[in-house]
Every structure is written in C-alpha cells, then in structure tokens.
Structure 1
Amino acid sequence: MIRRLLEVLGPEHARPVRRMLVALVTGAVLQGIAFALLVPVLEALFGSDPDEVWPWLWTLVAVAVLYCAVYYWSLLAGFEAGAGLARSLRQRIGDRVAELPLGWFAPERVGQLGQLTTKSVMDIMGVPAHLLRPLVTSFVTPATVTVLMYLFDWRLALAATLTVPVIVLVYRWSTALSRQADRERTAARAVTGGRVVEFAQLQPVLRVFGRGEARSGARLGEALRTQREASRRVLVTGVPGLIGFSLVIQAAFTAVLLTGTYLALHGGLDAAKLLALLVLAVRFTEPIAETAILGSTLGTARSALAQVADLLAQPTLPAPVSPRVPEGNRVEFEDVTFGYDDGRPVLSGVSLTLAEGTMTALVGPSGSGKTTVSKLVPRFWDVDGGAVRVGGVDVREIDPEVLMSRVSAVFQDVYLFEGTIADNIRVGRPTATDAEVREAARLARVEEIVHRLPDGWDARVGEGGALLSGGERQRVSIARAILKNAPIVLLDEATASLDPENEQAVQDALSALTAGRTLLVIAHRLRTVAAADQILFLDEGRIVERGTHDELVTADGRYASFWARRSRARDWSLAGQNS
C-alpha cells in the first residue's frame, strides 16, 4: 500500500511522505532494539548479580531517548505530509481530468469523480495521519526483534521466524476476502452519488410529472439498497478474516511460549532468560496484532488508492513529439472514421473541407454525427482512421495549447462557472480588458441581461448558471467565444435557446466573425442554414450531400426534403377555442 501511495502522489509530491517513512522506519528499529534490550536487563535483574543491570539499563535509556527524538521528528514529518497530501492528490486528479479525452466523461463518471475528490481523498489522508505508523511498526519492529532474538537464543528465534510465513499467508487471505466486496461497495457508492445528483437536478421535471418522480425515486432507492447490501457483504466477509488473523497471532505466541517452556525444561534455558525472551516474544506479536484492528481501515484506504491510481492510469491523448505550427486556418477531414468506446461507429469515411473566411453548415437527422464532427476539430478525441487537419497539419501533430488557441466553441450544453457574468465572459480571454469584455457582451446582447439584473455586472450566475435562463446562458457563452476571437469558430445549435429577436442580433454578431475565419455551424434554423457558403448533409455518419442551399434544393434530394419539412413546420400554429 505504501508503494501505491507513493506512485499516486508522484515524485514531486511524495518527498514529505518519504521523509516520514524514513523517520517511522528508524523509530520502529529503535523500538525493536529497546525491546531486545529488555532481555539482558531482565536477565541481570533476576540473575545472581543484579548490579550487572546498570550498563544495560543506561543503554536502554539512551535508546529510549533517541527513540523519543525520532518519534518527534516523525510527528513533524507526518504533519507536513498530511498537510500537503489532500492538496497534492486533488492537484494530480485535476491535472489528469484536464488531460483526459472528452469521451471518458460518461454520465456515470459524475458520481465517481465526486466520491474520488471527497471521500476517497479523505480516506487516503488517513494513511499518513493514522495508518502509516502502526503499519510500519507492525512489520519493522517484529523483524528487528526477531533478528536480535538470535543473539540471545537461536532456537527460540527460529520458532518465532517459522511463524512468519503462516502469519503472512493468513493476512493475505483475510485481506483477499474483503477486497472484492470492498470494490463492489465502492462501485455502489459511485452509482448512488450519480443517482443523488440526478435526483436533485431533475426536481423541476419530477415535480411536474408524478410518474417520473416515482421512477427516479425508485432508481435512487435501488442504488441505496445496492450500496447497503455491498456494505453488508464487506462486513460479513471481513469478520472471518479478522478473527482468523487474530487467532494466528495468538497461535504464533503460543508456539514460541511452548518452545521456550520445552527449552527451559529440557534444553538448558534458564528461567530468567526464558522470562525475558517471552517478554520479547510478546513485543514480537503485539505490533502485528494491531494490523488486525486496522484491517477494515487499511482495506478502505487501499481501495481509495486503487481508485485514484486507476484514474491516473487512464490513457490521455498522446502529445506530439515534434509539434508543427499550422499554416492558416483551413480545416480538412480526410476519410475520417470514428467510434466511441462502446464500439458503435459514428463517422465512416467522412471527407470535407472548411475554407477560411467561409461558413459551413452541418445538417442531418439526430444521431448522424454532426456534433462529433465539431468536437474532432479541437481534438476532443483521436480519430480511428483518416486524419483531421488544421492549416494543413494533422491535429495530432499540433501542440494542444496552440490548437485550442485557434478554436472558439459554443455547444448545445452551456455551463457557466460560479461567479459574475463578467467573470464567465472573461474565461474566453483572461487577459482581456474590461472594455473588451463589455464589447463582446454588447455584440452577444448580454448587456440587456446586465441592465435587467439588480447587481449589474456583479450579478452572480449561480452554479452552472442556474440563476439565468437557457437563452441567457447561451448568450453569455457566445460572448465568451466572441471575446476569444479565435480564427476557427464552432457553433453547435448556438442559437437554439434564443428568441427570434435575440437570435437575429446574435446572428449579426456572429456574421462579423466570419471575415478571415473558418466557421462551422450545426443548426436547424432555416435562415442559418440557407446563409451558409457550404452545406453538408450527414446521415448515419456519412456525408450524403454537399453544396450551396440553392444547389441542394434544386437537386431535390435529402436536403430538399429536410428544407421542405422545416419550412412547413415554421408555419405551424396552435389553434384554440375561445372560452
């Protein structure tokens, strides 16, 4: 477990823990030496000349004083390690999460990440605070005692040594019993965390649709029952191992006791030395027995370390060895194939070109791969086949920071950070001046929101932007993209939540971005689609039609049918009877 902890922390964060380990090992060795010195002390006291005890007693006092000094040093090292552990773990987890491809973030990861950064980190913090000392002592002190026991009577020392393999085997058996059950409990907790988040987020919908509340409540209840059953299995499987380990420790001491008694009766071992060696045998078994008491806590910490290690081991997108700089902002897909981890193909043989200074509209039925195309440009995933190029360079050969600096994106699902409207717009370019932030806000019609709110620019948006409407969040997101002023702009249903008046205003603002830029728009609004320089119609992961609006309507194919349906839907209205 100690090796796993050091691996999880990484070399740059593991130094305080290493210092603590050195202090603990030194203290445990000194403790073992102090225990061993009890043998000559007791032997002298019960021998024919008690005055012989003084040299041994002073040596014992010196070792005890040195042990106290090392113990104090280990406490300071422990405080230092504990203080930085949570910060180091969360920093490593955050860094890894930021490097993971977007495809890793499935919905069930919400509960897992929440548990990982809270409970799992707290469980790991308990390792240097409460577990390392007894863990190191339970191994190092008995080992020191056993080695020194050979100086006094090799036969009794050999008896103690022979019990070690049995103790190790039973310890491995006891931990293996509960390990699988503990993994099931951890997984159940992650699912329950996700269900709680889901239940809270869907309250507006659940309260409108009573049946939905019952169904979601049932899902949460089932997750809670699964977690309760998993916790019960940990207890049921862990208790036999705990009892078995305690029994084998007592059996080890009994074996040493019987050996000593036999040697005292038939082997010439005097009573004084026997008494002293039996005291030493107690010191041999006592630290090991403490690990049985800590068994459950050790298992929990080991499971938490395994979860963090698994996250840190998740593969990231490989960085280019010799990064190349794109020449221009032309975007090209060459025979691109792509599928998610579930094996479902999404894109098959997609080839397209987005010329600089033009707008390309992606249209097609739901699930045809439009959003996937937009997310492959900034390399949220790597393609399975073919290539995606920006400025003539494969995105896999471009430094990620350089690539992302060239792309602004507004996706369907808008997330705003806790803070003010200005803070959220400034995310697009943190170095922007206040005047630049307000100009981007003006272009996206965010100023109207600011003037309406009592606190103006200092108005808080709430977690995830909960205090704003969907359309208002979308406008803040568009202002963020405008402020970034990147040469490639990706808009995925960017105006879907806007009313006609604000949609027109935002469209005018976005049109200003097309000059000298590459604009990719996923939209169903007819005016947006018709204004595109190029329209690509996707169906089942393939581009089945391409051209301008007039060309595709004249061709009377899939796009023409799409346009006709949308045109009819635009004229729909709800008719009611006056009451």
Structure 2
Amino acid sequence: MIRRLFSALGSEYDRALRRLLGWFTVAALLQGTAFVLLVPVLRELLGGEPDRAWPWVIALAALWIGYAAVNYPATLAGYRTGADLSRYLHHRIGDKVAQLPLAWFTPDRVGGLGRLASQRVVDIMGVPAHLLRQLVDTFVTPLVVVLAMFLFDWRVAVSMAVAAVAVAVAYRAVGRGMQAADRNADRIHADAAGRIVEFARAQPVLRAFGRTVDGHAALDEALTAQHASGRGMLRAGMPALVGLGFIAQASFIVLLALGTYLALDGSLGTAELIGLLVLAARFVEPVMLTAELGGAIRVAENALTEINTLLVTETLPEPQVTRRANGADIELDGVSFGYDGDAVLKGLSMRVPQGRMTALVGPSGAGKTTVIKLIARFFDPDAGTVRVGGVDVREMRTEDLTSVISVVFQDVYLFDGTILDNVRVGRPDATDEEVYAAARTARVDDIAGRLPGGWEAPVGEGGSRLSGGERQRISIARALLKDTPIVLLDEATAALDADNEHALRQAVAALARERTVLTIAHRLQTIRDADQIVVLADGAAAETGTHDELLAADGHYARYWRERSRAAGWRLTRRDTFLRQSSPTGTA
C-alpha cells in the first residue's frame, strides 16, 4: 500500500511522506526497544540485587521520554498530511480529468469518477493519520521484539518467528478476499450512482409517460445490488479477519505454554519468563489491531489502486516544443476515425478556407460532430492529419490550439452561477463592458431582463432555470467574448425560436466576415448563406461547393435540399377528425 500511496501522490509529496514514515519508524523502534528493556529490568528486580536494575530503569525512562517526544509530532504530522493529501489528490484528479480525451468519458466511467473523487479520497485520507502508522507498528515493533528474543532465548525467538510467518500468510488471505469484494462493491456503487443521476434527469420523460411508479425499476435493482455487495463484503471479510485474530491469539498461547515449560524445566528463569511474555503480548497486540483494521487497509489499497489507474490513463500526447498556427484555415487530410471499432470517418479530406463560412451537412451519424471534435482535438484521428493554420494539431500545445478556436455545441452546459459568470467563462480576464457587449450581441440581455436579479440572476445547476434556446445564447456569447479567429458551431441555433435565430444568424454572419466559421446546420437559410458547403456521406466528403454549384450538380446535396424545402412548409392540419400533413401550397 505504501508504494501505491507514493505513486498516487507523485514526486511533490515524496519528501513529506518519507519524513512521516521516518517519524513513525523511529517511534516504533523506540517503543519496541523500550519493551525489550523490560526483560533485564524484571530480571534484576526479581533477582538478588534490585539496585542493579537502576541503570536499566533509567534507560527505559529515557526511551519512553524519547518515544513521547517523537510520538507527538508524528501524530500531528499524520493528521496534517491526511488533510493535505485530500486537497492534493483532488487537484491531481481534476488536472488529469482535464487532460483525458473526450472518448474516455463513458456513462459508467462518469459515475465511477464521482465516487472516486468523493468516497475513495475519503478512504485514503485516513491512511497517514491511522492506517500508515498501524502498518509501521505492525512490522517494525514485532521485528524488534523477535530480534530481541534471540538475546534471551533462541527457542522462544524461533517460535515467535514461526508465528509471525503464520500471521503474515493469514493477513494475505484476508487481503485477497477483501480486495475482491471491495472491487465488486465499487463497481456496483458506481452503477448505482449513475442510476440515481439517470433517474433524476429522466423525471420529465418518466412523468410524461406515467412511469412514476415503475419507471425506476433499474434504480431499485442497482440499490438492491448495492445492499447485497455490502453484505458480500462482510461475508468475505469476517471469516478471514476472525481467522487472523485466532492465529494471533493462538500464537500467544503457544508462546505462553513454551515459556512455562522452559521455566519448569529450569532452563528459563522466572524473571526472564515474565519479561518474555510481556514481549509476546507486545508482539500480538499490533497484529490484533491490524486484524481489526484489515478491511479498512484493503479498502484504502483498492482506493489507491483506482486513483493510480486513473492517473496513468493515457492522455493525448503534448509536444515538447509547440508550433503556432500560421493563419486560420482548417484542413483534414485522409482522416479516419471510429468509436469502439465502428468506423465513422473513412479517409475524409476537406478544407475550410480562412475568413469564410463553411457549412457541413449530411445525414445523422455521418460524422459531422466528430469532425468538429477532431479539429478541437478532443481526440486524435486513427489515421490522417488535422491541420489548423497549416500546423498539425498534434504539434500544438492544448493552450495554443484552444487560443485560436471557439466551439459552440448543441448540448450546452452552464455552471451553477450567474448569467455574467457563465458568459465570462469565454474569457475570464475580459472587462465588464466586453462581457456585456458579447452578451448583448447574442441577445442575452433579453434573458437578463426577464429574470429577477438581471445579469446577476442564477442560472441553476447545468442551466436548469433557463430554456434550451437561452442556454445556447449564453454559449454563443461565450464564443463571441473569446474572440478567436476560428469558430466551430455544432447546431448552435437548433433550440432557438425564429426571432432569436434571426438575431444570432446576423451575429454569426458578422463573425464570418472576419473569421473562419465551420457550422453544422440543417436550417436552409444557414446553408444558403455559407461560402462553401461540404456534404458528408459514407465517411468522406461526397461533394464540395457553393449552394448554386451543388444544386446544379444534382447529387446528394440537391436531394437533401429538395427534401428540406418540402419539409419546411409542412404543418399539421385537422380534417374530418384526422391529422394530415399539408404541403407548402396548403393542399392536403
């Protein structure tokens, strides 16, 4: 466990952790040596000349004073390190999560990550203050006692060494059972956490379909499994823990019987017997305490293993020497990419000219959003190259790439703060006037005027107090505030009404006059206004050109345009108690 702790904390905590281990080791050595000195003290006191015990008594007192002097700062250091460890681990986990590729964040991992950053860190907090000291005492103090035994009676020493081996074997058996049970419980707890979040988020759907009673069967099953896993940990751990305690107690009884036999045989004095039995008791005590804490120790070991697994997860490599974009054009050259072995892009090659608006169209699942994520380097392509400003994005540091790109996704997440706080995310060092200007351009001032508190109105967790269109407006305001030469829009106006869409289309048009804009859109007007249109089909760019050029070609785009044009005028009408679709001309 100590190796895992060093790995989880990294090199920055090496010195502090080694110093803490040093304090605990010195305290255990002093304590063990003090117990050893009880043998000569008792031998002299029960012998014919008690005055000869004074030097041993003085030495014993000096050792206990030294132990007290070391024990106090060691205890304080343990608690202080535990508190610092919690804060440091949260920072390391947060920094690592920020570096992980987007493909890592599957639903099951998100639930596990929540448990890792909360319960698992708490499991580790007790290691420096309690468990680490207990581990040191368990190994160092009995080792001192066993070695000291050889100075007084080798037969008792050998017996104690054999008992130590038996205890170590039992302890490993305890560890294997508890580790397996805890891993299974952790997987089930993560699934239950995900089900709880899913149940909360799905309330509108469940209530709309009258599933308020039986709609949470999956959650019930997850919670039942969680309860069963807790019982499983008890079943796995208790027999082994009881067995470890039994072996420790049996070892003491054997040592007691052996010592008594040797004393009756005359080969061991009464004073030595009493002293050696004191040492035997001190040998058994930390082992018994370890048996009681064995489950906590194994849980902490599993927690450290899980955190280390996260920390060593492969991230997107960062170049040692970064290159900066020379311009604002975008190029994908022979790019292939897939999810879980299913290919989405197959040798895609396309170019987004600088200072122009390019629309990306195609059927659902064609890879339009994947293209934007590859440009923003949320993950790397399986093959091919993505260039921004003539530079491979893999040759640019993350901060250099993000400094030239703004991304607006269809699904917008807002932080639990005010309207202004969420707009300012785009550029935290912006002045208030710059924030207000970007917000007004995106029509966020309408939202501020509607809500109590105005610009300081809280948006709720995830933006729950706002509509989908209002959240998108704030997201677009962020992009406007960031003021980058490249803007990527993924259905940014999908949830807006006609009035706000018109205002935002004007804002996007203003951006396009000075910036490179790549937009994914199905709205006819957005497509028509684009300087260039790229049609994705079968993982590649099937067609590229302007609106008029692609219509004249009468290919994928022309069919797509005709379908959209027909659907644009459809509406539902009622005739003879039937709902029918009407054509743009109004005839059913």
TM-score normalised by the chain length of structure 1: 0.97
Which 4+ residue blocks in structure 1 deviate beyond 6 angstroms?
none
Q: Cα offset for 1:14? A: 4.5
Residue number in structure 1 paired with 2:230: 231
Q: How does 1:421-570 map to 2 (within 5 A)?
A: 421-570=419-568
Q: How does 1:129-144 map to 2 (within 5 A)?
A: 129-144=129-144
Whichever residue aligns with residue 388 of structure 1, its letter is: V
Q: Cα offset for 1:126? A: 1.5
Residue number in structure 1 paired with 2:390: 392
- Residues 50-108 of structure 1 show CA distances to partners (whole Å, capped at 9, x for unaligned) of 22221111111110111011111112212321221211110011000011111111122
Residue number in structure 1 paired with 2:582: none
Whichever residue aligns with residue 101 of structure 1, its letter is: P
Q: Is 1:314 paired with 2:313?
A: yes
Q: Cα offset for 1:164? A: 2.2
Residue number in structure 2 paired with 1:23: 23
Residue number in structure 1 paired with 2:122: 122
SS across alignment from 1:353: strand
Q: Cα offset for 1:215? A: 5.6
Whichever residue aligns with residue 96 of structure 1, its letter is: K
Q: Cα offset for 1:577? A: 6.3
SS across alignment from 2:427: coil
Q: How does 1:143-542 map to 2 (within 5 A)?
A: 143-211=143-211, 213=212, 216-266=215-265, 268-340=267-339, 342-542=340-540
Q: Cα offset for 1:578? A: 11
The answer to whether the Cα contact below 8 Å between 1:329 and 1:518 also exists between their aligned partners in 2 is yes
Cα distance in structure 1, aligned partners of 2:243 and 2:381: 53
The answer to whether the Cα contact below 8 Å between 2:78 and 2:130 also exists between their aligned partners in 1 is no
Cα distance in structure 2, aligned partners of 1:309 and 1:148: 39
- Residues 497-531 of structure 1 show CA distances to partners (whole Å, capped at 9, x for unaligned) of 11011101001011111123211100111111111
Q: Cα offset for 1:178? A: 2.1
SS across alignment from 1:324: coil
Cα distance in structure 2, aligned partners of 1:314 and 1:337: 23
- Residues 398-422 of structure 1 show CA distances to partners (whole Å, capped at 9, x for unaligned) of 1110000000010011011111111
Q: Is 1:102 paired with 2:76?
A: no
SS across alignment from 1:12: helix
The answer to whether the Cα contact below 8 Å between 2:75 and 2:129 also exists between their aligned partners in 1 is no
Higher mean alpha-carbon deviation, 392-401 vs 141-150, is at 141-150
Whichever residue aligns with residue 485 of structure 1, its letter is: D
Q: Cα offset for 1:181? A: 1.5
User: Relative to structure 1, is the Cα distance of residues 564 and 60 closer, same or farther in structure 2, using a 3 angstrom cutoff?
Assistant: same
Whichever residue aligns with residue 489 of structure 2, its letter is: L
- Residues 328-383 of structure 1 show CA distances to partners (whole Å, capped at 9, x for unaligned) of 1111111011123x222121100011110111111111111110000101110011
Q: Cα offset for 1:216? A: 4.1
- Residues 437-490 of structure 1 show CA distances to partners (whole Å, capped at 9, x for unaligned) of 111111111111112222111111111111111100100000000111111100
Higher mean alpha-carbon deviation, 256-265 vs 448-457, is at 256-265
Residue number in structure 1 paired with 2:53: 53
The answer to whether the Cα contact below 8 Å between 1:13 and 1:88 also exists between their aligned partners in 2 is no
User: Relative to structure 1, is the Cα distance of residues 149 and 303 closer, same or farther in structure 2, using a 3 angstrom cutoff?
Assistant: same
Q: Is 1:40 paired with 2:40?
A: yes
The answer to whether the Cα contact below 8 Å between 2:361 and 2:520 also exists between their aligned partners in 1 is yes
Residue number in structure 1 paired with 2:584: none
SS across alignment from 1:150: helix
SS across alignment from 1:332: strand
Cα distance in structure 1, aligned partners of 2:279 and 2:44: 15
Whichever residue aligns with residue 378 of structure 2, its letter is: F
Cα distance in structure 1, aligned partners of 2:276 and 2:461: 65
Residue number in structure 2 paired with 1:72: 72
Higher mean alpha-carbon deviation, 60-69 vs 17-26, is at 17-26
Q: Cα offset for 1:424? A: 0.9
Cα distance in structure 2, aligned partners of 1:215 and 1:319: 49
User: Relative to structure 1, is the Cα distance of residues 214 and 309 closer, same or farther in structure 2, using a 3 angstrom cutoff?
Assistant: farther
Q: Cα offset for 1:294? A: 0.4
SS across alignment from 2:415: coil
- Residues 270-310 of structure 1 show CA distances to partners (whole Å, capped at 9, x for unaligned) of 22212211111111111111110001211221221122111
The sequence identity of aligned pairs, in percent, is 54
Cα distance in structure 2, aligned partners of 1:553 and 1:253: 92
Residue number in structure 2 paired with 1:4: 4
The answer to whether the Cα contact below 8 Å between 2:178 and 2:299 also exists between their aligned partners in 1 is no
TM-score normalised by the chain length of structure 2: 0.95
Cα distance in structure 2, aligned partners of 1:89 and 1:142: 33
The answer to whether the Cα contact below 8 Å between 1:335 and 1:351 also exists between their aligned partners in 2 is yes
SS across alignment from 1:13: helix
Higher mean alpha-carbon deviation, 324-333 vs 538-547, is at 538-547
Q: Cα offset for 1:258? A: 3.5
The answer to whether the Cα contact below 8 Å between 1:17 and 1:77 also exists between their aligned partners in 2 is no
The answer to whether the Cα contact below 8 Å between 1:367 and 1:540 also exists between their aligned partners in 2 is no
Residue number in structure 1 paired with 2:585: none
The answer to whether the Cα contact below 8 Å between 1:339 and 1:347 also exists between their aligned partners in 2 is yes
Cα distance in structure 1, aligned partners of 2:171 and 2:79: 29
Q: Cα offset for 1:257? A: 2.8
Q: Cα offset for 1:166? A: 2.0
Q: What's the RMSD between the two structures over aligned residues? A: 1.6
User: Relative to structure 1, is the Cα distance of residues 161 and 451 closer, same or farther in structure 2, using a 3 angstrom cutoff?
Assistant: same
The answer to whether the Cα contact below 8 Å between 2:45 and 2:53 also exists between their aligned partners in 1 is yes
Residue number in structure 1 paired with 2:580: none
Q: Cα offset for 1:541? A: 2.0
User: Relative to structure 1, is the Cα distance of residues 314 and 215 closer, same or farther in structure 2, using a 3 angstrom cutoff?
Assistant: farther
The answer to whether the Cα contact below 8 Å between 1:19 and 1:77 also exists between their aligned partners in 2 is no
Whichever residue aligns with residue 453 of structure 2, its letter is: D
The answer to whether the Cα contact below 8 Å between 1:17 and 1:78 also exists between their aligned partners in 2 is no
Cα distance in structure 2, aligned partners of 1:15 and 1:200: 45
Task: Give the count of matched residue pairs.
Answer: 577
The answer to whether the Cα contact below 8 Å between 1:149 and 1:156 also exists between their aligned partners in 2 is yes
